[in-house]
Structure 1
Amino acid sequence: MPKLSIIIPCYYNEENIPVTTRELIANETLFPPEVTFEYVLVDDGSKDKTLQTLLAFRDAYPDKVRILELAGNVGSYNAIVAGMEYATGDCMAIITADMQDPPELMVQMYGYWKQGIKLIIGNRQDREETGLQKWFAEVFHKTMKSIALPNIPDGGFDFVFFDRQVCEHVVGLQERNSNLFYLMVWLGYPYVNIPYVRRKREIGKSRWTLKKKIKLLIDSILAFSFFPIRAISVMGILLGIGALFYAFYIIGLKIVGDIEVEGWTTLMLVLLFVSAFQMIALGIIGEYVWRGLDATRKRPLYVVKDVYQSEKANLK
């Protein structure tokens, strides 16, 4: 019988979890009867009552629930990798704890998996959110599609269904400062994408801050594209060509004796522009160097403080 492992990262989700778990249990009835379920919920260093709420869910369904408590907050992507490492299913799904993604879509995803598709993506055709959050998401994914991964679906995604083979590849890579979902596409497996409308969050407050979004954008670009380095090279060449022509121009004025002691404003503008470009270039190069250093240190992506599961559970 195929086992489906549903992996859910949790961070300050004490209000969401009762609703989320209730919907997930109800969603089981939509699957064929031969499917068994495993829920792997990862507490990513929450300081509220998230862990206690997760343990209550484990107590209600001891044969199918495993709770991972991480020692500290490592970010949702690393928490997901922890869940993937401990999951034992033949196929797996990642869904958020705030129920913005429709769990019933997993039934259709499972159907594609049964046909041999190893990666199924639920991509956001639209979002019920408005304002800056929606605008940033659109810019983020359009940027990534244009300069890094042209084969990703439109609209962005973090709701995926995948085979155990994909899981083993991702866990084995242990890649830092990257984008977990783009990494799945990067592996090269043919995938199917299913468009849906992302729901508006109804319970609690999102901890996905603008600072975290900007970091993810930088991580994603640097992890999957050499565009920033290439842009520095192209800009350097253009500035060099411009400087060469300007040098010829100054030499010409000197030869004909038409040069005057002027140009302070022009000189300062050019100096400030070139200096700013140099600082930006050094910053971009520094980002790449830092990521290389971080990889060579081989620190763990996460530290599992404790694992809560029933002894009767058929879990790893």
Structure 2
Amino acid sequence: MNTPEITVVIPVYNEEDGLQVLFDRLYPALDQLGPSYEIIFVNDGSRDRSAAILREQYQRRPDVTRAILLAANAGQHMAIMAAFENARGQIIVTLDADLQNPPEEIGKLISKMREGYDYVGSIRRQRRDNLFRNWASKAMNRLRERTTRIRITDQGNMLRAYSRSVVNAINSCREVSTFIPALAYTFARNPTEVVVEHEERALGESKYSLYSLIRLNFDLMTAFSLVPLQWFSMLGIVVSMGSAALFVLLIVRRILLGPEAEGLFTLFALAFFLIGLALFGIGLLGEYVGRVYLQVRHRPRYLIEAVLEQQE
């Protein structure tokens, strides 16, 4: 197989209902661009017929289609890493399988890459998500930017283009848990962003629950910054100084006004607050220790069951 100019990477997890619609739009959109391309689908341990559908699509278009079948669910970003390590193109584009990012928008990113940028992110023009999800996403974006100094306007949008040099740098990392857009941003010398259209999910349901989104953002902040630990250390100093000041105040009050009979529930509330603060700090520290534990075990990040591709 000749080396293509463009590689499109699409992780797939339980998307059997929408895959045919994706095929019907993706291939014509790439054919119209002109340059040679390949599409790498990564089945991330789907429990439905997604793997079988990908096999059928590979048989229809073996010249431009490749499929990596993972033995178990490894998560979206690890699925993308599996594709990055097998991608041949000079420009690598990631795209979700749910069609919320139209495949027709890929051309915008390719044009921007040809202007000399090595990493092109995308910003959804008008998000088709509910109000709570939009608000939560903006809030987490601001918090993430303050803690990691990584400036990604729309971190939840996976329609992004990467140069070969950036992907090579990503492949050199052996992290067991990461956030690919942020990792790419740290390696890019000339990043930029473009505005793209956004559509409602064609078929199926979102694979990201509220818990998953919170977990993803927590992973992002702890993977790229020590600021949460530093913030907690500063908070501990402030609470300690406040506690010392309160102790002095109580001693002075006892000397001037005598012993205090009331205030028991206030002390309970203060004790519960400090206990909660301590538990939160232990959990935050445990998060960092847990990441170290996962890393030092050196277990494989994903297991490949099969690779469907046309041999030279």
Normalised by the size of structure 2, how large is the TM-score? 0.93
SS at match of 1:5: strand
Work out whether 1:13 is the aligned partner of 2:15: yes
1:277 matched residue in structure 2: 277
Go from structure 1 to structure 2 and tell me whether the alpha carbon gap of 1:235 and 1:59 turns closer, same or farther (over 3 Å shift).
same
Question: Which residue is 1:264 aligned to?
Answer: 264
Whether 2:143 is the aligned partner of 1:143: answer yes
Aligned length: 310
Matches within 5 A, 1:241-256: 241-256=241-256
Q: Which amino acid aligns with 1:103?
A: P
Pairing of 1:85-96 with structure 2 (within 5 A): 85-96=85-96
Partner deviation per Cα, 1:9-60 (whole Å, 9 max, x = no partner): 000111211111221110123313xx11111100000111101111111011
Match of 2:21, as an amino acid? V
Q: Conserved in 2, the CA contact under 8 Å of 1:178 and 1:216?
A: no
1:154 Cα offset (Å): 4.8
Q: Name the CA distance, whole Å, in 2 between partners of 1:263 and 1:116.
A: 67
Is the Cα–Cα contact under 8 Å of residues 93 and 162 in structure 2 kept in the other structure? yes
Q: 1:246 to 1:255 in 2, by over 3 A?
A: same
Partner of 1:97: 97
Question: Displacement, 1:155?
Answer: 6.6
Q: Distance in 1 between matches of 2:219 and 2:236?
A: 24
What is the distance in 2 between the residues matched to 1:99 and 1:253?
67
Q: Tell me which amino acid in the other structure corresponds to 2:8.
A: I
Q: Write the mapping of 1:7-46 to structure 2, written as runs, cut at 5 A.
A: 7-32=9-34, 35-46=35-46
C-alpha separation between the residues in 1 aligned to 2:155 and 2:46? 29
Q: Which deviates further from its counterpart, 110-119 or 279-288?
A: 110-119
Residue number in structure 2 paired with 1:124: 124
Aligned counterpart, 1:57: 57
Q: CA separation of 1:7/1:72 partners in 2, compared to 1, >3 Å: closer, same or farther? A: same
Partner of 1:71: 71
Q: CA deviation at 1:266?
A: 2.3
Cross-structure match for 1:158: 158
Aligned-pair identity (%): 25
Distance, in Å, in 1 between the alignment partners of 2:105 and 2:273 is 51
Q: How big is each residue's C-alpha offset from its partner over 1:53-93, in whole Å with a ceiling of 9 and x where there is no partner? A: 11111011111111111010011110010011111111110
Comparing 155-164 with 197-206, greater Cα deviation is found at: 155-164
Q: Mapping of 1:181-192 within 5 angstroms?
A: 181-192=181-192
Which residue identity is paired with 2:246? Y
Residues 10 and 41 in structure 1, CA contact (< 8 A), matched pair in contact too: yes
TM-aligned CA deviation for residue 218 of structure 1: 0.7
Deviation at 1:307, TM superposition (A): 0.9
Shift in CA distance, 136/254, structure 1 to aligned 2, threshold 3 Å: closer
User: Does the 8 Å CA contact 2:14/2:48 hold for their aligned counterparts?
Assistant: yes
Q: Deviations over 1:104-139 (max 9, x none)?
A: 222222222223211111122330122433333232
- CA 1:280–1:68 in 2, change beyond 3 Å: closer, same or farther? same
Structure 1 CA distance for aligned equivalents of residues 16 and 273 of structure 2: 50
CA distance in structure 2 between the aligned counterparts of 1:200 and 1:191, rounded to whole angstroms: 27
Q: 1:165 to 1:248 in 2, by over 3 A?
A: same
The answer on whether the counterparts of 2:118 and 2:188 sit within 8 Å (CA) in structure 1 is no
Amino acid at match of 1:22: D
Distance 2:240 2:222 in 1: 25
Query: Once the 2 structures are TM-superposed, how far is the Cα of residue 179 of structure 1 from its aligned partner?
Result: 1.3
Separation in structure 1 between the aligned mates of residue 156 and residue 52 of structure 2, nearest angstrom: 32
**Partners of 2:124 and 2:197 within 8 A in 1:** yes
Aligned to 1:223: 223
Structure 1 match to 2:235: 235
**Cα RMSD for the two superposed structures:** 1.8
C-alpha distance 140-125 of structure 1, shift in aligned 2 (>3 A): farther
Partner of 1:180: 180
Give the TM-score normalised by the residue count of structure 1: 0.92
Q: Distance between the aligned counterparts of 2:61 and 2:182, measured in 1?
A: 33
| 2: CA distance, partners of 1:110 / 1:188 | 16
- Matched residue, 2:287: 287
Asked if 2 retains the 8 angstrom alpha-carbon contact of 1:128 and 1:198, the reply is yes
